[in-house]
Amino acid sequence: MLDANWQTGQYIVEFEQGGNAKAKYGDKLLINLSKDLTRLKGKGFSRSNLTYMRKLYLAFPKCETLSHQLTWSHYFELLKCEDKLEMQFYMKECIKEGWKVRELKRQINSSLFQRLALSTDKEGVLALANEGHQVITPADIIRDPYVLEFAGIPQRKSYKESELEKALKTNMEQFLLELGRGFAFIGRQYVVPIGARRFKVDLVFYHAILKCYVLIDLKRAEIRHGDIGQMNLYLNYFKTEVCQPDDNPPIGIVLGAKKDEILMEYALQGIDNQLFAARYQLYLPNREELQAQLNLLLDTHQE
């Protein structure tokens, strides 16, 4: 089907449009083609489908550049990306991660490319598009913000941290997708006994690529400096009591609805552990605003 749709797109551009990217008669051409092909070949040749077949050929003029690890349904979603770099990124990630169409749509809707790109520079953006997201260092697993719309908690609803934690565990498949490559769930409310006291880490994972534990503490409101100290305590405990000799040092993520950048800068100074403060949001981001910020970043680096 993928090859047939590419060939149909090639026919539209090279024969019907004489090699021009745009049709002389606009949508009228596709309307007439849709009627003719439906009459001759049957279903599957709606004007919408023909539009995306044409887009497929224009985006991949060489048939061998198409990956047959992806289906036509994958490409249908990829072709909705107006930005070429964005489309390349999702294509690379889709192949590497084996995303289903539903997972691809979720990542596009949550603006994963823009969120990752805004945390880097122009060279990093190009690397994302050409190589996908590489996980090499602990910082590579951090996303700020994390988008947790799948938890189903309305933005203005008053909720407890335990409710969010429970919602993430209930929707663990989607949460792992948001966390990214390499995460394996270990447990919730992981007990950390120190002396006569028993602390609990909200969520514990093991990262198969970085070979280390990842501890996540959830905060309903703004992250406080005391939350950083508490996570540092957990990391020290894990290094001594939990980690095996072949494990790398654990990573701690304090995840809150808000954070003060300057406060976090001072709170994190002097800490030897891999400890990060990041934000989450319970609704999908505005893709247009993020894309505008990304365009500004790219323009700034071009000057």
pLDDT at 11 over 60: yes
The sign one gets for the Cα dihedral 236, 120, 202, 204 is negative
Q: What secondary structure letter does DSSP report for 211?
A: T
pLDDT at 235 over 60: yes
If you compute the radius of gyration of the chain from its CA atoms, what whole number of angstroms results?
A: 23
> What are the Cα distances from residue 74, in Å, to 8, 11, 50, 94, 268?
17, 21, 16, 9, 42
Name the β-bridge partners of 197.
Answer: 194
* Phi, psi dihedral angles at 46 (to 5 degrees): -65, 165
Average pLDDT score over residue span 223-231:
97
User: Helices 122-131 and 84-97, interaxial angle, to 10°?
Assistant: 50
| C-alpha closest to that of 302 among 127, 132, 121 | 121
Tell the residue number behind the tokens 């489309």, with chain if given. Answer: 87
Question: Using an 8 Å Cβ cutoff, are 192 and 167 in contact?
Answer: no
Tokens of 194: 């120190």
| C-alpha closest to that of 98 among 183, 4, 177 | 177
pLDDT at 191 over 60: yes
Share of the chain above pLDDT 70, in %: 97
Q: What secondary structure letter does DSSP report for 70?
A: S
Tell the residue number behind the tokens 């490319």, with chain if given. Answer: 113
Helix (H, G, I), strand (E, B) or coil at 114: helix
State how far the Cα of 232 lies from the Cα of 250, in Å rounded to an integer: 10
What confidence category does residue 207 fall into, taking pLDDT thresholds of 50, 70 and 90? very high
The pTM for the full model equals 0.88
pLDDT of amino acid 26 = 60
pLDDT at 151 over 80: yes
State how far the Cα of 30 lies from the Cα of 184, in Å rounded to an integer: 48
How many alpha carbons fall within 13 Å on the CB side of residue 212? 18
Tokens of 16: 């019907």
What confidence tens digit (pLDDT) does each residue in 30-69 have? 899 999 999 998 888 999 999 999 999 999 999 999 999 9
What confidence tens digit (pLDDT) does each residue in 76-93 have? 999 999 899 999 999 999
Question: Using an 8 Å Cβ cutoff, are 148 and 175 in contact?
Answer: yes
Sort strands 251-258 and 274-281 into parallel, antiparallel or unpaired: parallel
